[in-house]
A and B are shown apart, each in its own frame.
Chain A
């Protein structure tokens, strides 16, 4: 759907405009009464996406994912050529007064007619083992895959940012977020 593509690709968009377009999108879907969002990918819009610039190691990407359909939609995997592997993470209390990040069981679920906000300190895409630095303003392409096999692509600009520093222990070992 053209509106969705526009939404996904445009880098600079006001929240108000986003809301307006989403409303329009919902209106179109409602009026059409057709199953244009039968594929998971057709129901998902990605906005406000960005990635944290990093010289090496790990980094993270953030976005708002909106689901216009009336069913929950699950992301089963994410991919970018800027990292060897891309995981879906959540941040939880570590039981000793701090927080730690870990892989989210089953991936992110975007609720029906709802959104998931991926932000520093909460859920995020985790980019593991960067083969090359991700530098200021670099445009990084991502693909996310849903349960039914359909995919959505988006591009995110890299920003210099030092947040989202929670420890991650993929093998039981604590490592800082790479910079």
Chain B
């Protein structure tokens, strides 16, 4: 069956046209080319910038938060990043890792990416203290937050994504097992989108909303997304990640009629168009009124989230989660969104928007942030420069791997 191929091409053309009109159509989610054979796709691991950020989102994702057994042990941190480089370079290219005990699970990659970030605590090591990006700190607390420490900040983040959950489980196993005496897994957050080939365009969350329409245009990435090294030279070509776990209460959401749900969002549920438009990518007209009443309520999600400055933009790369209900919970579901926002500086780009949403957003009735963490996503690796090389160079440690102790 080839029809998906045809329709994807059409979508690709449409996306380019919208971007050309300056509407800022999402490039994430629209640029996906179908695999020649199912699961055969690979994405590069080596490069100036890490894959898994602007590369097309895959069907499944796994965020793994890990802590160093000794957060002050910089040589071991370097060793872990060297091993992750070694393993990810192979697994993403559909090759077993060097110590792979289940190599049969590594024969396809399903567009596997492995993307690595570090948390603020590693910078407490004296050798790294002066190298912490100023924005790498916990977010301010928001009144809407009900943060569970279970999903809190960790020393390291391994963000894995693939179109196939078996590939993902195997990659997770390989990347965590080879470092397990020095690193502890604190949490794993699993997310998903539609299966490959099922849909095109912007994803939908489990409320049924088109989610992630507003994205910075790809020609602004060098300014808004990728670090230029101005503050910390080692961060050039890295970025930041704010990972929020947002619980979505299906039971109370479904108690609202469809019109009420659309008003709370400011978009229609069918196409995702703003209530003032007909197409998902139409610019919302917040000044439009009908009978003296704003068409898009000022308290709606898109009215509150809409940027007040050009800097208030970030790349949204969300995944749904749908876990078993907590024991004893009265809720039918335990669903939500793994909301990942990438930007050069979360303090100036993400926080103002989040503060506005915390102050008021009609959707807050049904959504609750329950996890939050911020990471410096490392610059990309090359064959001769493993992940973290620029950081350890700046710390005077060289990039050739942990020396013998």
Contact = CB atoms under 8 A, between A and B. Distances in A.
Interface of A: 10-16, 48, 50, 53, 62, 81-82, 120, 132, 135-141, 155, 157-161, 163
B386 interface: yes
Nearest to A161: B99
A135 B182 contact: yes
Interface string B394-405: 000000111111
A57 to B, nearest CB: 15
Interface stretch (B2-10, B76-84, B136-144, B364-372): B76-84
B98 A138 contact: no
A137 B82 contact: yes
Nearest to B174: A159
B123 to A, nearest CB: 19
Interface in B160-201: 177-183
Contacts of B405: 132, 135, 138
A80 to B, nearest CB: 9
B305 interface: no
A138 B86 CA distance: 13
Nearest to B98: A50
B385 to A, nearest CB: 10
Interface residues of B, number: 34
A136 B99 contact: no
Contacts of B95: 14-15
Contacts of B182: 135-137, 160
Nearest to B97: A159
Secondary structure type dominating chain B contacts: loop
B179 A11 contact: no
Nearest to B83: A137
B403 to A, nearest CB: 7
Given A11-B386, A139-B401, A157 B179 contact: no
A53 B69 CA distance: 16
A159 B97 CA distance: 11
B402 A138 contact: yes
Nearest to A81: B404
A13 B183 CA distance: 25
Contacts of A139: 79, 82, 400-404
A157 B101 contact: no
Interface of B: 75-76, 78-83, 85-86, 89-90, 93, 95, 98-99, 101, 177-183, 381, 383-384, 386, 400-405
Contact of B76 (A15, A81, A120, A135): A135
Contact of B402 (A12, A16, A137, A159): A137
A163 B383 CA distance: 28
A159 B99 contact: yes
A125 to B, nearest CB: 15
B79 A135 contact: yes
B79 A157 contact: yes
Contact of A82 (B79, B85, B404): B404
Contacts of B101: 163
A161 B178 contact: yes
Contacts of B75: 135, 137-138
Given A137-B179, A138-B402, 6 more contacts: A12-B381, A132-B405, A135-B405, A136-B79, A136-B178, A160-B177
A22 B95 CA distance: 18
Contacts of A120: 99
Contact of B181 (A11, A12, A15, A160): A160
Of A15, A120, A136, most buried by chain B (CB within 10 Å of CB) is A136
Contact of B86 (A81, A135, A157, A163): A157
A137 B400 contact: no
B401 A157 contact: yes
Q: Which of B79, B183, B405 has the most CB of A within 10 A?
A: B79
B400 to A, nearest CB: 7
Contacts of A11: 82, 85-86, 386, 401
Contacts of B404: 81-82, 138-141
A62 B405 CA distance: 21
Contacts of A53: 181
Contacts of B381: 12
A12 B83 contact: no
Given A82-B404, A139-B400, A141-B404, A10 B384 contact: yes
A140 B402 CA distance: 9
Contacts of B179: 136-137, 159-160
